[in-house]
């Protein structure tokens, strides 16, 4: 009891529950990268196999898809996160200039924003005055309230790019495992991919506190639809070329 009370005094919010870090820039590229790699490469080998290519050609197509896709994901994540961070930094500079030029107007603006949380106008005005005593605190408060992003908690482009590369490669590797171990069969590759769909869906659901069964079935259904589409395209193209 005494230990619980001591912990509550140190961290009054953490005594009953904890929140994971959902703003660190790692969760989305990790989950998206793995899912994208798994679906993309399973569908890719399905299309290649449906066109009638030999097993070694299907495997080569899958390896090429893994490498190309991993680099594409990494570059895309790095570019998008960098652009987002640079855009935020530009808006921070705009807000910083406004605070220096018209501090009273900015103070009234913040007070107006705080009333949206249920504060009375008097309480919001007092809170805004106290926040504006420190320019750095005021700047951060305005950016968070007006833009919805914390300038002190920006995701890392390198982390996003690295995770996207790694997770895409791992996901794309799953349907290639039978080929790597000498089972050059499209059926085995697709089976591995389907199991991967279900596992990835279940893991994603577990991570977000949703139904694991529903998450697994949903991802399996969507992945199988993608595979069916590319396999059908492979059949059509293969027969038309032949």
What are the tens digits of pLDDT across the range 132-167? 999 999 999 988 888 888 888 888 899 889 999 999
- Asked if residue 177 belongs to a domain, the reply is yes
Which pLDDT score, from 0 to 100, does residue 147 have?
Answer: 85
Q: Is 1 within the bounds of a domain? A: no
Mean pLDDT of 3-22: 51
What is the total count of domains within the chain?
Answer: 1
Residue 77, in any domain of the structure: yes
Q: Domain residues for 199?
A: 25-236
Is residue 64 domain-resident?
yes
For residues 161 and 74, is the Cβ–Cβ distance under 8 A?
yes
143 touches 91 (CB < 8 A) = yes
User: With pLDDT > 70 as the criterion, what percentage of the chain qualifies?
Assistant: 87
Six-digit token string for 140:
């951060």
Residue 241 lies inside a defined structural domain of this protein: no
Q: Helical H runs in the chain?
A: 2-10, 27-50, 55-101, 103-114, 121-131, 135-147, 157-173, 177-180, 186-207, 212-241
User: Residue 234 pLDDT more than 60?
Assistant: yes
Q: What is the pLDDT of residue 13?
A: 53
Confirm whether 50 is domain-assigned: yes
Would you say residue 222 lies in a domain? yes
Asked whether residue 41 is assigned to any structural domain, the reply reads: yes
Please spell the DSSP secondary structure of 188-236, one letter per residue. Answer: HHHHHHHHHHHHHHHHHHHHTTS-HHHHHHHHHHHHHHHHHHHHHHHHH
Confidence band of 209 (pLDDT split at 50, 70, 90): confident
- Residue at token pair 């005593």: 133
Length of the chain in terms of residues written: 242
Average pLDDT over residues 165-181: 94
Is the full-model pTM beyond 0.85? no
Residue 168 — pLDDT band, cuts 50, 70, 90? Answer: very high
151 Cβ neighbours under 8 A, 6+ residues apart:
88, 89, 92, 139, 140, 143, 144
- Compute the average pLDDT of residues 111-117: 90
CA dist 100 and 92 (Å) reads 12
Q: What whole-number distance in Å separates Cα of residue 225 and Cα of residue 209?
A: 25
């Amino acid at each position: 009891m005494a230990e619980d009370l001591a912990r509550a005094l140190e961290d009054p919010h953490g005594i009953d529950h904890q929140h994971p870090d959902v703003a660190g820039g790692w969760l989305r590229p990790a989950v998206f990268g793995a899912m994208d790699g798994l679906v993309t490469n399973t569908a890719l080998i399905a299309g290649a196999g449906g066109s009638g290519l030999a097993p070694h050609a299907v495997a080569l197509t899958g390896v090429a898809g893994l490498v190309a896709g991993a680099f594409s994901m990494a570059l895309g994540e790095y570019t998008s996160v960098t652009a987002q961070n640079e855009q935020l930094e530009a808006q921070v500079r705009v807000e910083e200039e406004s605070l220096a030029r018209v501090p009273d107007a900015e103070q009234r603006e913040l007070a107006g924003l705080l009333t949206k949380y249920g504060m009375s106008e008097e309480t919001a005005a007092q809170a805004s005055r106290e926040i504006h005593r420190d320019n750095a605190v005021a700047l951060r408060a305005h950016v968070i309230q007006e833009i919805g992003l914390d300038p002190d908690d920006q995701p890392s482009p390198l982390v996003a790019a690295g995770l996207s590369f790694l997770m895409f490669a791992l996901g794309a590797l799953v349907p290639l495992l039978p080929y790597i171990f000498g089972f050059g069969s499209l059926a085995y590759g697709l089976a591995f991919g389907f199991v991967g769909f279900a596992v990835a869906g279940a893991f994603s659901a577990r991570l977000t506190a949703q139904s694991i069964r529903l998450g697994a079935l949903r991802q399996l259904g969507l992945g199988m639809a993608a595979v069916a589409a590319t396999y059908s395209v492979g059949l059509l193209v293969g027969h038309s070329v032949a």
